[in-house]
Amino acid sequence: MANHTDPKKQCSIQPDTLAMYQKARQEGVETVWERAQAQEPQCGFCSLGLSCRNCVMGPCRLDPFGEGPQRGVCGADADIIVARNLARMIAAGAASHSDHGRDLVETLLAVAEGHAPGYQLTDLAKLDRIAAEYGIPADLPPQAKAKELALAMMAEFGIHKGHLTFAKRLPAARLAIWDRLGIAPRGIDREVVETMHRTHMGVDNDPVNILLHALRTSLSDGWGGSMIATEVSDILFGTPSPVASQVNLGVLKTDEVNIILHGHNPLVSEMIYRSSQDPALTGRAQELGAKGINLVGLCCTGNEVLMRKGIPMAGNHLVQELALLTGAVEAMVVDYQCIMPSVGQVSTCYHTHLITTSPKAKFPHAQHLEFTPENALERGREVVKMAVENFADRKPERVLIPVAPVNQVSGFSVEAILGALGGTSAPLLDAIKAGQLRGAVGVVGCNNPKICQDLGHTTITRKLIEHDILVLDTGCTAVANAKAGFKDPGAAALAGPGLKAICEALKIPPVLHMGSCVDNTRIMHLAAALANALGVDVDKLPVAASAPEWYSEKAAAIASYAVASGIYTVLGVTPPVLGSRMVTDLLLNGLKGVVGACFAVEPDPEKAAGLLIRHVESQRQALGLDSRL
């Protein structure tokens, strides 16, 4: 298999993945790993960012060895082509998060106007806090306040004047840097559209100018679209607080109707959750011989319902096909993003219904049941009913649920973390100042078949907590770390003595799950709050970020807004930029002098952990705190 890090020349460190991969081989079902192998050798031009198909004078590709063409037909050189490609990648990621945010805002408006019968305003205190940030009068009743808020947020997607509202959570020094560079995000959609414009042939041909706008586009995601998605989800479905649950494919049940919720947006999954509690449907499941209805999550929709409802998590990105291979899934319900087109084909090998729900995301071999704010409650019932009736078609002889589940505690929103600390960030800062806690690192992002599944996430996380660094995780990392047992409060024993004592006192694990990938904005919000409390800009904090196994354009946007917000970020997979020395140097070095942070790329997770630890310690030293450098 391609590029697997020695000595673990296998596709995963996880027993459930390995067992199901074996079953896939026995049953002749193709998975992501065979397809990855079939792509070898992958295109060298594309890997270096040196191919362009932005117009039909091309496609063009430049010779990295300097012998063949050094310019595309239009005259674009390597620096221009690489910068344009990276900018488009970031724009696609920002668009995905932000369009997800928009769907939530539209639902918030529908709730406020009274035509979204399944939904409600769940966290009114949060509605009050967010509305206050938007300058909406405090004395409005909740429905009217929600309507004003939805309209104000919608305006931020378009031509907005001044800073995005949530960017004001940052220290003034950070906003001043953005203003000076001209990268303060304006309207959320506007920056994405402008990236597409600038990267059209014959528009922006200054690679630095292109990349600065790419950063601005990422910021419109991090402090705009994604942050709106997180905050509106909390208003509609509740702000997460610590909740016990379980993780891995062992959460599927041999004697229950299993429904997998996969994708990213909680709008659909919350309605399925409600219907799964309906006595008429659970009764029907029992008539058919099932003990009940078992909802489980996958990927970020899974993180959303885990954080708020404690619904168990079946797995991360590379588990999506394998979950169907258990033969125990009556329905996989998907919304959008990171859902491999292959799941339709795999579902046809079993009795599983693949159900698509968004007009934006239709799949081969799927049944489409479209959800809208108006019909979602009724649709949720329909979907659960379909799954229940499908239990009769399960073939018990084909079922394999390979492992027992692992316990985890999830639900660490910013509110929950500060709540556990008595309402302020002061105890956290005191622990950092005293050196008991060295700092905090966000370990986030995807799986990628180029990397042994979860090896990067878990190796880095383990090293960091051993070094008394608190780990905050989201997305697919969160699943990897939970499966490794790092989210059981007992995992405090794996931490260094300082972090261990804190975890034991607060009864929390050393790795705090902060949610889905749009919830990386919770990490940003916490970083901004710490910087404000300390009276410094974010780039001075003893914090860092890491995306050890990233694959997605969304991850490129996240990493970019982290860096542009002042957070040093270590990537485990090389982005397609090495074809331009100038772009590579800007990302790895030059940005430091511009936004106070830069990227690093380190495929070896042990060494990546070393980089992160060194960064945290050197930040401590610069702050005048004790340092283990």
Question: Which residues would be at the binding site for ligand SF4 (CB under 6 A)?
Answer: 52-55, 57-60, 72-74, 76, 81, 201
Cβ 71 to ligand SF4 shortest distance, Å: 8
51-80: contacts with ligand BF8 (CB under 6 A):
none
Cis amide linkage into residue 510, ω under 30° from 0: no
Which one, 456 or 579, has the nearer CB to ligand SF4? 579
The contact pattern for ligand BF8, residues 276-315, with x = CB under 6 A and - = no contact, is: -----------------------xx---------------
Instruction: State the binding partner of 603 from ligand SF4, ligand BF8, none, CB within 5 to 8 A by kind.
Output: none
By the rule CB under 6 A, 170 interacts with ligand BF8: no
Instruction: State the binding partner of 59 from ligand BF8, ligand SF4, none, CB within 5 to 8 A by kind.
Output: ligand SF4
By the rule CB under 6 A, 190 interacts with ligand BF8: no
By the rule CB under 6 A, 446 interacts with ligand BF8: yes
Instruction: State the binding partner of 317 from ligand BF8, ligand SF4, none, CB within 5 to 8 A by kind.
Output: ligand BF8
Cβ 39 to ligand SF4 shortest distance, Å: 22
- SS3 per-residue string spanning 78-89: HHHHHHHHHHHH
Instruction: State the binding partner of 294 from ligand BF8, ligand SF4, none, CB within 5 to 8 A by kind.
Output: none
Pseudo-torsion of CA 571, 574, 575, 576, nearest 10°? 170
Cβ 70 to ligand SF4 shortest distance, Å: 11
Cβ 303 to ligand BF8 shortest distance, Å: 7
The contact pattern for ligand BF8, residues 336-365, with x = CB under 6 A and - = no contact, is: --x---------------------------
Amino acid at 454: D
Cβ 78 to ligand SF4 shortest distance, Å: 10
Give, to the nearest 10 degrees, the angle between helix 124-133 and helix 142-157: 50
Strand (E) or helix (H) holding 356: strand 353-356
Q: Six-digit token pair at 469? A: 């660094």
Instruction: State the binding partner of 29 from ligand BF8, ligand SF4, none, CB within 5 to 8 A by kind.
Output: none
Cis amide linkage into residue 41, ω under 30° from 0: yes
By the rule CB under 6 A, 317 interacts with ligand BF8: yes
Instruction: State the binding partner of 555 from ligand SF4, ligand BF8, none, CB within 5 to 8 A by kind.
Output: ligand BF8
Phi then psi dihedrals of residue 516, to 5 deg: -85, -170
**Number of residues engaging ligand BF8 in binding (CB under 6 A):** 15
Cβ 624 to ligand SF4 shortest distance, Å: 50
Amino acid at 467: H
Instruction: State the binding partner of 74 from ligand SF4, ligand BF8, none, CB within 5 to 8 A by kind.
Output: ligand SF4
Cβ 471 to ligand BF8 shortest distance, Å: 15
527-586: contacts with ligand BF8 (CB under 6 A):
552, 554-555
Which one, 49 or 222, has the nearer CB to ligand SF4? 49
Q: Six-digit token pair at 308? A: 């708020």
Which one, 51 or 316, has the nearer CB to ligand BF8? 316
Which one, 81 or 545, has the nearer CB to ligand SF4? 81
Strand order in the sheet with 439-443: 511-515, 469-474, 439-443, 543-547, 569-571, 599-601
**Integer Cα distance of 74 and 60 in angstroms:** 9
Q: Could you give the count of Cα atoms lying within 13 Å of 268 in the half-sphere of its Cβ?
A: 31
Cβ 62 to ligand SF4 shortest distance, Å: 8
Distance of CA 501 to the CA centre of its chain: 29
The DSSP output letter for 589 is: I
The contact pattern for ligand BF8, residues 239-268, with x = CB under 6 A and - = no contact, is: -------------------------x----
- Provide the 3-class DSSP secondary structure of residue 596: coil
Quickly tell me which residue has 């450098």 as its tokens: 629
* DSSP-assigned letters across all residues of 314-329: EE-GGGHHHHHHTS--
Which one, 492 or 517, has the nearer CB to ligand BF8? 517
51-52 vs 60-61, strand pairing mode: antiparallel
Nearest CA among 410, 140, 102, 370 for reference residue 232:
102
Which one, 56 or 138, has the nearer CB to ligand SF4? 56
Q: How far apart are the first and last CA of the chain?
A: 38
Phi then psi dihedrals of residue 526, to 5 deg: -65, -40
**Which sign, positive or negative, has the C-alpha torsion 88, 90, 96, 100?**
negative
Instruction: State the binding partner of 418 from ligand BF8, ligand SF4, none, CB within 5 to 8 A by kind.
Output: none
**Integer Cα distance of 556 and 587 in angstroms:** 12
* DSSP-assigned letters across all residues of 195-255: HHHHTSTTS---HHHHHHHHHHHHHHIIIIIHHHHHHHHHHHH-----EEEEESGGGS-TT
Which one, 152 or 322, has the nearer CB to ligand BF8? 322
Cβ 72 to ligand SF4 shortest distance, Å: 2
Cβ 301 to ligand BF8 shortest distance, Å: 8
**Integer Cα distance of 80 and 204 in angstroms:** 9
Instruction: State the binding partner of 503 from ligand BF8, ligand SF4, none, CB within 5 to 8 A by kind.
Output: none
**Integer Cα distance of 548 and 448 in angstroms:** 9
Q: Six-digit token pair at 473? A: 């995780």
Which one, 50 or 346, has the nearer CB to ligand SF4? 50
Instruction: State the binding partner of 72 from ligand BF8, ligand SF4, none, CB within 5 to 8 A by kind.
Output: ligand SF4
Which one, 50 or 518, has the nearer CB to ligand SF4? 50
Which one, 205 or 618, has the nearer CB to ligand SF4? 205
**Integer Cα distance of 194 and 198 in angstroms:** 6
Cβ 413 to ligand SF4 shortest distance, Å: 44
Strand (E) or helix (H) holding 529: helix 520-534
**Integer Cα distance of 418 and 431 in angstroms:** 14
By the rule CB under 6 A, 517 interacts with ligand BF8: yes
Which one, 207 or 605, has the nearer CB to ligand BF8? 605
Cis amide linkage into residue 242, ω under 30° from 0: no
**Integer Cα distance of 461 and 438 in angstroms:** 14
Which one, 54 or 226, has the nearer CB to ligand SF4? 54
User: Which spans of this chain sit near ligand BF8 (rule: CB under 6 A)?
Assistant: 264, 299-300, 316-317, 338, 445-446, 475-476, 516-517, 552, 554-555
